[in-house]
Amino acid sequence: MTEISPAQGEEFQASEVNAWDECEPAREQRATARFTLLIRTAKLVSASGEYLCVVRDVSSDGIKVRTFHPLPSDADYTIELASGERHAVAKVWEDGDITGFRFTSAVPLDRLLAEAPEGLRRRPVRLRLALPLTLFSNGRPLNATFVDISQHGACIECPDYLAMDERIRLSSDCLPELVGRVRWRRRPLYGLIFEQTFRFDELARLTAPHQSAAPVSVQRALSAFGR
């Protein structure tokens, strides 16, 4: 696992073109201007789970993304940008790892192209997932569960006490072994920062087969903490 700057999704360039996507079926062509975004990280949320993606092209009525694995057959999704802004979208077409979506209602382009809308902050894209793990605290194995994860850290649920800045080791059947430190705690939830980071595409492929909704109680707790 290594950190790569394009995955941070902080920079983009925009260039206007005449059509939504010259490769999609003619009936899906758009009269609205389309802008090409270079590496804007985001996630797609559906009834089946949450999936990392990269936004490449966007207009006020549609968006094109690159994914790193097949998407579930759900028709309705929400696209969530790194800023935390969310928009409902419907899948229109799919060609390999490129998928086109239509916004269910028009979205101003300035909101889509802004690095962070007013009142929202840009942050690493987090995926919610309920994945059991074993953590080792001072040599003790403890049962815990991933609640969400990003390239740089994770939120876990653990009934046992962990100290602030404690260095712990995480082991699960689905992810490589991780080492991190406790950065915040609101028991039973703990925020960790990893010593090594995931590549964006690596995290997308590792988590996709294990997506499931977080328990309602955890969702409410995360919402209360602004996550």
Neighbours of 154 (CB within 10 A): 23
Look at residue 178 and tell me whether its pLDDT is greater than 50.
yes
Model pLDDT, residue 26: 39
Q: Do 109 and 136 lie in a common domain?
A: no
| pLDDT tens-place string over residues 91-150 | 999 999 999 999 998 887 777 776 655 555 567 899 998 999 999 999 999 999 999 999
Q: Do 65 and 133 lie in a common domain?
A: no
| pLDDT tens-place string over residues 56-74 | 888 878 899 999 999 998 8
Contacts of 220 (CB under 8 A, 6+ apart): none
How far apart CA 227 and CA 214 sit, in angstroms, is 13
Q: Do 109 and 146 lie in a common domain?
A: no
Contacts of 139 (CB under 8 A, 6+ apart): none
Residue 183 lies in a domain: yes
Residue 97 lies in a domain: yes
Confidence of residue 27 (pLDDT cuts 50, 70, 90): very low
Residue 121 lies in a domain: no
CATH, residue 149: 2.40.10.220
Q: Do 136 and 166 lie in a common domain?
A: yes
Amino acid at 154: A
Q: Do 209 and 137 lie in a common domain?
A: yes
Identify the domain containing residue 169 by its residue range: 127-224
Tokens of 220: 């409410």
Amino acid at 123: R
Look at residue 7 and tell me whether its pLDDT is greater than 60.
no
3-state secondary structure of 2: coil
Residue 162 lies in a domain: yes
Residue 81 lies in a domain: yes
Q: Do 68 and 151 lie in a common domain?
A: no
How far apart CA 150 and CA 129 sit, in angstroms, is 11
Contacts of 18 (CB under 8 A, 6+ apart): 33
Residue 120 lies in a domain: no
Look at residue 198 and tell me whether its pLDDT is greater than 60.
yes
Look at residue 218 and tell me whether its pLDDT is greater than 90.
no
Residue 28 vs residue 41, higher pLDDT: 41
Q: Do 106 and 144 lie in a common domain?
A: no
Q: Do 107 and 141 lie in a common domain?
A: no
Q: Do 152 and 100 lie in a common domain?
A: no
Model pLDDT, residue 112: 73
Q: Where a domain ends, among 113, 146, 178?
A: 113
Query: Mean of the pLDDT values across residues 195-222?
Result: 76
pTM exceeds 0.85, yes or no: no
3-state secondary structure of 224: helix
| pLDDT tens-place string over residues 148-173 | 999 999 999 999 999 999 999 999 98
Q: What mean pLDDT, rounded, does the chain reach?
A: 79
Tokens of 152: 């740089």
Q: Where a domain ends, among 113, 147, 169?
A: 113
Q: Do 18 and 81 lie in a common domain?
A: yes
Confidence of residue 217 (pLDDT cuts 50, 70, 90): very low
Domain count, the chain: 2
Residue 24 vs residue 36, higher pLDDT: 36
Confidence of residue 28 (pLDDT cuts 50, 70, 90): very low
Confidence of residue 8 (pLDDT cuts 50, 70, 90): very low
How far apart CA 199 and CA 206 sit, in angstroms, is 11
Cis peptide before 215 (omega within 30 of 0): no
Q: How many Cα atoms are found within 13 Å in the side-chain-facing hemisphere of 3?
A: 12
Confidence of residue 215 (pLDDT cuts 50, 70, 90): very low
Model pLDDT, residue 83: 76
Residue 114: DSSP 8-state: S
Look at residue 44 and tell me whether its pLDDT is greater than 50.
yes
